[in-house]
Amino acid sequence: MSTENTTPETAGVEGFSSADVSDVQRMSYEQARAELVQTVSRLEAGGAGLEESLALWERGEALAARCQAWLDGARTRLDEVRAAAESQQAAESQQAAESQQAGEDDD
């Protein structure tokens, strides 16, 4: 396998071809996590030769990076929604305060 076509998700992961990388990059979080669990189980069970163990390890690293990318994206989306809600709440509070101040000035 070649390391010529690595991406940020596979940087530092030896032996990944562009086909391996694109396969992992197309996975949903749930798909990547399920395969990662299976890969870890196979590694923990032992019995694989050195070459197969290295391939499993590399695949696991790519799957873990994919899962992390999904989680990072979810965190970013949640932070954006939270910031928008807080901004709207602050604007509504300011508007209510201004309306109350205007009402007091009329008295």
Give tens-digit pLDDT for 8-49: 444 434 455 666 677 999 999 999 999 999 999 999 999 999
Write out pLDDT tens, residues 10-21: 443 445 566 667
Amino acid identity for residue 99 in this structure? S
Residue-averaged pLDDT of the chain: 83
Task: Give residue 5's Cα distance to chain centre.
Answer: 21
Domain coordinates in residue numbering, the chain: 18-106
For residue 1, what pLDDT is reported? 40
Q: Which pTM was predicted?
A: 0.65
For residue 101, what pLDDT is reported? 81
Which residues in 13-38 are b (16+ Cβ under 10 Å) and which e?
beebeeebbeebeebeeeebbebbee
DSSP symbol at 11:
T
Quick check: 21 and 9 in contact, CB under 8 A? yes
